[in-house]
Chains A and B, each alone.
Chain A
């Protein structure tokens, strides 16, 4: 099952919106692309087309939330998370029940190039103490995260979604648990930690390493903030060698979060795979290959990391 995570997002929002009148959705001239149009079709009276006005949209959503609504603001992640001050003050500092939905995350955007790619969004939003940073790895997880945000989560959140299709990595009976690392494969030589669109590549690489007698575990981090510190500590204790893989800058995202956790309690070597430069135009596949985010790249990064450590 290959699906872009924005698809189950829109479908779940539309399904729940029909019965939960607290839900309101705002978009900034990208409703087809973000899939919020599905909600607009189902609940037109609770959908707000704000035009190309991301800042206005975000603060408006915070106001809506203060009247008991559960608000979702949608755009490409680059355009919405760059309105950081509105997210910081209107949303986070009011502890508003607003989810910032950023689709088209990372270099997976492809030919549009750097200005349409969010490569810094996790780094920025992770600094807000009460704002949950969530990134699903596949369609199943996306649906459950949206259900969780509406059913249980009482505060601000950032939901990071892909434009491109990603293969399913979970079984049908998978259960999402907020704030808990999701261990997908056991291993004792190396711990690979992925999030979002890179998780399936991490699994494929681990399986290839396994064929060569290298035992690599794979953990999916869907909740980047607050990070499951205990799970990171345990991975460090098990292997002493961790490798993060994300479609994001190597600075401040999953890799940064894992290194912070390690430095605080479980010093261990950690190698960060991700972008080290601006993004650029190219096909998603070419860009994933260039930045070693595909199965081949993750495999090679793991090998060279282990060789370096001897």
Chain B
């Protein structure tokens, strides 16, 4: 039994690892086509988003408003291209829609919106609100006797918002244990590195002091992500916080080296081709196979 589970887990890790470079390519193509958007924070978040959707989320892409579904709230709304890449792969919408990102009339709004795209569980884009919304969803599901779980992805810069700490306090009070927060801790924001702009450390100590269950992982290591998600789901009587150390622009070396500059600037065609070539080469995907 135990070893079967272990093999299943290894199989899933292999699948996620195979999908990751493809999602990264989709993100870059989307942003290139849109001529605007946020590559750094989408690429740092993609492994987390992919793991949550493929491993944890109980959902129905063909019935996106299913009442008993698990919820995913992209609190750092500018990172939504990562979510769109995964959603399209899961069949929420036609793949061609990806190339309409940020264009007039597209359901793929620049920041996620519930009434533009079914499957988006909260409209976001003004940082700092998602966690409070997640709290409300968590308590509401509990009142409805649903076993559904809520995942909330946040940014480190976002963590500076006062409202985040209000939610930190109230969620401990209400023991909102059906919410798991994953922090995409890529250490950079717009005006500079997070520690220079407004340091949020010591982060684990802060959340623990507020009464949360806290774990720290490498946010690009699927084995660690899956294990942390399992542990978070098992926690009772406390909300759960996963500090995922990530790299802004992960997978594209010129972005990784310049994380602040690549926050909110989309890659042009030349940058995109260069980035995609690097991703494919590392993943051993040849260009022909990659064109799906």
- Chain A contact residues, CB within 8 Å of chain B: 27, 29-33, 49-53, 55-56, 78-79, 82, 110-116, 280-283, 286-287, 290
Tell me the bound Cα distance from A53 to B197 in angstroms. 11
B36: interface (CB < 8 Å): yes
B208: interface (CB < 8 Å): no
Complex interface bits, B20-40 against A, C-beta within 8 A gives 1, otherwise 0:
000000000000001111000
- Find A51's partner among B34, B102, B160 (CB 8 Å cutoff): B160
B162: interface (CB < 8 Å): yes
B157: interface (CB < 8 Å): yes
- Find B110's partner among A29, A52, A112 (CB 8 Å cutoff): A112
Tell me the bound Cα distance from A246 to B144 in angstroms. 45
Residues of B contacting A52 with CB < 8 Å? 127-128, 157-158, 160-161, 189, 198
Residues of A contacting B190 with CB < 8 Å? 29-30, 32-33
Q: Shortest CB–CB separation between residue B194 and chain A, in angstroms?
A: 8
- Contacts A51-B198, A290-B104; A115 near B161 (Cβ below 8 A): no
B113: interface (CB < 8 Å): yes
Q: Which of B118-126, B218-226, B241-249, B278-286 contacts A (4 or more CB under 8 A)?
A: B118-126
Shortest 9 CB-CB distances between A and B: which pairs?
A51-B198, A115-B125, A282-B104, A113-B110, A111-B102, A51-B160, A112-B110, A52-B160, A113-B109
A51 near B197 (CB under 8 angstroms)?
Answer: yes
Q: Shortest CB–CB separation between residue A204 and chain B, in angstroms?
A: 22
- Contacts A282-B104, A290-B104; A115 near B189 (Cβ below 8 A): no
- Find A79's partner among B105, B113, B126, B191 (CB 8 Å cutoff): B126
Complex interface bits, B87-114 against A, C-beta within 8 A gives 1, otherwise 0:
0000000000000001111100111010
Residues of B contacting A112 with CB < 8 Å? 36, 102, 110-111, 125
Q: How large is the interface on B (under 10, 10 to 19, 20 to 34, 35 or more residues)?
A: 20 to 34
The listed residue with most B CB atoms (<10 A of its CB), out of A49, A53, A56, A112, is: A112
- Contacts A29-B190, A282-B105; A113 near B111 (Cβ below 8 A): yes
Tell me the bound Cα distance from A32 to B160 in angstroms. 19
Q: Shortest CB–CB separation between residue A30 and chain B, in angstroms?
A: 6
- Find A49's partner among B37, B102, B103, B191 (CB 8 Å cutoff): B191
Can you report 26 A-B residue pairs in the complex whose CB atoms are below 8 A from each other? A27-B191, A29-B190, A29-B198, A33-B190, A49-B198, A50-B198, A51-B197, A51-B198, A52-B128, A53-B160, A53-B162, A53-B198, A79-B126, A111-B37, A112-B36, A112-B102, A113-B113, A113-B125, A114-B113, A115-B126, A116-B125, A280-B104, A281-B103, A282-B104, A282-B105, A283-B104
Complex interface bits, B127-148 against A, C-beta within 8 A gives 1, otherwise 0:
1100000000000000000000
Q: Shortest CB–CB separation between residue A83 and chain B, in angstroms?
A: 10
Complex interface bits, B199-230 against A, C-beta within 8 A gives 1, otherwise 0:
00000000000000000000000000000000
- Chain B contact residues, CB within 8 Å of chain A: 34-37, 77, 102-106, 109-111, 113, 116, 123-128, 157-158, 160-162, 189-192, 197-198
- Find B111's partner among A50, A115, A283, A287 (CB 8 Å cutoff): A115
Residues of B contacting A116 with CB < 8 Å? 110-111, 125
B191 near A115 (CB under 8 angstroms)?
Answer: no
Q: Shortest CB–CB separation between residue B112 and chain A, in angstroms?
A: 9
A32 near B126 (CB under 8 angstroms)?
Answer: no
Tell me the bound Cα distance from A191 to B266 in angstroms. 42
Residues of B contacting A82 with CB < 8 Å? 126
Residues of A contacting B77 with CB < 8 Å? 115
Q: Shortest CB–CB separation between residue A14 and chain B, in angstroms?
A: 16
The listed residue with most A CB atoms (<10 A of its CB), out of B36, B37, B191, is: B191
A281 near B124 (CB under 8 angstroms)?
Answer: no
Residues of A contacting B110 with CB < 8 Å? 111-113, 116, 281
Tell me the bound Cα distance from A111 to B33 in angstroms. 12
B111 near A56 (CB under 8 angstroms)?
Answer: no
- Contacts A82-B126, A281-B109; A113 near B102 (Cβ below 8 A): yes
Residues of A contacting B191 with CB < 8 Å? 27, 29-32, 49
Tell me the bound Cα distance from A113 to B160 in angstroms. 23
Residues of A contacting B192 with CB < 8 Å? 49
Residues of A contacting B37 with CB < 8 Å? 111
Residues of A contacting B127 with CB < 8 Å? 52
A51 near B157 (CB under 8 angstroms)?
Answer: yes
Closest residue of chain A to B266 (Cβ to Cβ) is A111
Q: Shortest CB–CB separation between residue B103 and chain A, in angstroms?
A: 7
